[in-house]
């Protein structure tokens, strides 16, 4: 008897059309990502209507390729998993509809997955020994969460952003300094040539919660700096602004995270989401975790930004728990972590 569990997973919550096949949760047999970045670049951000239309155009091709590269057929799958929230409603609906159609036609069980749960589970792919409990910082375009992962599928949200998400701040600042979309990777690159101590941008503290984040004040400080330079007719050094802004974000994310890991008494800490691909954040957290004797886990950059393999990993643990979705599964744009 073969107890291997193969899952076809689909992700279309934002601007990546992705499908993957995973084996027993942690082995990636295929991971296909069609990125729409070039389409959205000229608008300076994701245009939801364009994203939905492109997902519709690409989704079947991406699923076919994921199955082909995995060496398996649809009928070999034990479950079909799909991100059903949070995300852009029109974008999510494309993946959800595709997954429901495949599940209905084959009778294979359907599992709706929370996008952030997927990001967290990306850590399991390359760290076969990692098991909960641990603390995870999820920093993406839409979220900045500090989460205690108590068990598979069991989370305690201990900190969140009060305004902009970290990735959103990267994207907005990048646009303001003329680097374009997506801001994160562009600031990461530009910052390598800049002086992180050139400008002293504020590190926002949030009243009443030591683990919550706020990035809108920092964003305004960068905009004020740019306006003042323009009024004085001074040239700004883009790389210095990028490096100083990045340092401020990295500093806050790092200090809140280390504080949480220590206060909650855990020994393991992981990062997830697009911003977790940031080279400076990875280096800084690695350094601080070493100093504090904390085991630090980070997915390879390809598993930090949106992908379907992470959805397959999350779905595996849901599958083992008996989670199944009905054919009435709907997109839930503001789905909360840990809720179904």
Binding site for ligand KG4 (CB under 6 A): 14, 140-142, 167, 170-171, 182-185, 188, 273-275, 277-278, 305-306
* Structural element, H or E, at residue 330: none
Q: How far is the CB of 116 from Zn ion (least distance, A)?
A: 8
- Asked if 40 and 47 count as a contact pair (C-beta separation under 8 A), the reply is yes
Tokens 């646009």, residue?
175
Task: State how far the Cα of 63 lies from the Cα of 33, in Å rounded to an integer.
Answer: 10
Q: How far is the CB of 25 from ligand KG4 (least distance, A)?
A: 20
Is the Cα dihedral 21, 23, 25, 27 positive or negative? negative
Number of H helices, E strands in the chain: 11, 10
SS3 helix, strand, coil % of the chain, rounded to 5?
45, 20, 35
Interaction partner, residue 240 (ligand KG4, Zn ion, none; CB < 5-8 Å by kind): none
Q: How far is the CB of 14 from ligand KG4 (least distance, A)?
A: 5
Q: Does 70 bind Zn ion (CB under 5 A)?
A: no
Considering the complex, state which of residue 188 and residue 318 has its C-beta at the smaller distance from ligand KG4.
188
Peptide bond into 131 cis (omega under 30): no
Interaction partner, residue 314 (ligand KG4, Zn ion, none; CB < 5-8 Å by kind): none
The backbone torsions φ and ψ at residue 258, rounded to the nearest 5 degrees and listed phi first, read: -65, -40
Interaction partner, residue 167 (Zn ion, ligand KG4, none; CB < 5-8 Å by kind): ligand KG4
Binding mask 128-167 for Zn ion (x = CB under 5 A): ------------x---------------------------
Q: Does 188 bind Zn ion (CB under 5 A)?
A: no
Burial of 95 from C-beta contacts in 10 A (0-12 / 13-18 / 19+):
buried
Interaction partner, residue 275 (ligand KG4, Zn ion, none; CB < 5-8 Å by kind): ligand KG4
The backbone torsions φ and ψ at residue 247, rounded to the nearest 5 degrees and listed phi first, read: -60, -40
Considering the complex, state which of residue 277 and residue 289 has its C-beta at the smaller distance from ligand KG4.
277
Binding mask 280-319 for Zn ion (x = CB under 5 A): --------------------------x-------------
Considering the complex, state which of residue 109 and residue 273 has its C-beta at the smaller distance from ligand KG4.
273
Return the closest-CA partner of residue 225 out of 206, 251, 245, 205: 245
Tokens 């004797």, residue?
293
Interaction partner, residue 303 (Zn ion, ligand KG4, none; CB < 5-8 Å by kind): none
Q: Which residues bind Zn ion (CB under 5 A)?
A: 140, 306
């Amino acid at each position: 008897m073969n107890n291997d569990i193969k899952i076809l997973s689909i992700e279309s919550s934002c601007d990546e059309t992705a499908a993957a096949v995973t084996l027993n949760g942690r082995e990636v047999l295929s991971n296909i990502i069609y990125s729409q970045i070039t389409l959205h670049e000229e608008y300076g951000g994701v245009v939801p209507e364009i994203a939905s239309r492109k997902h519709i155009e690409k989704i079947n091709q991406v699923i076919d390729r994921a199955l082909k590269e995995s060496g398996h057929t649809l009928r070999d799958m034990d479950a079909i998993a799909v991100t059903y929230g949070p995300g852009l409603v029109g974008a999510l609906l494309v993946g959800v509809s595709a997954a429901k159609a495949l599940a209905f036609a084959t009778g294979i069980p359907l599992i709706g997955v929370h996008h952030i749960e997927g990001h967290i589970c990306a850590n399991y792919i390359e760290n076969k020994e990692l098991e909960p409990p641990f603390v995870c910082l999820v920093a993406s375009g839409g979220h900045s969460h500090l989460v205690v992962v108590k068990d598979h599928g069991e989370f305690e949200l201990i900190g969140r952003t009060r305004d902009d998400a970290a990735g959103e701040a990267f994207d907005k600042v990048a646009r303001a300094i003329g680097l374009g979309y997506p801001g994160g990777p562009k600031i990461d690159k530009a910052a390598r040539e800049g002086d992180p101590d050139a400008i002293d941008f504020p590190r926002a503290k949030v009243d009443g919660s030591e683990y919550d984040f706020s990035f809108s004040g920092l964003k305004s400080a960068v905009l004020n700096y740019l306006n003042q330079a323009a009024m004085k007719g001074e040239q700004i050094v883009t790389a210095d602004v990028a490096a100083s802004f990045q340092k401020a974000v990295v500093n806050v994310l790092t200090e809140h995270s280390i504080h949480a890991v220590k206060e909650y008494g855990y020994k393991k800490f992981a990062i997830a989401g697009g911003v977790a691909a940031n080279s400076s954040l990875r280096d800084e957290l690695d350094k601080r975790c070493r100093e504090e004797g904390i085991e630090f886990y980070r997915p390879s950059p390809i598993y930090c930004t949106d992908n379907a393999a992470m959805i397959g990993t999350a779905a595996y643990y849901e599958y083992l728990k008996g989670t199944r979705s009905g054919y009435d599964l709907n997109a839930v744009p503001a789905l909360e972590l840990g809720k179904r």
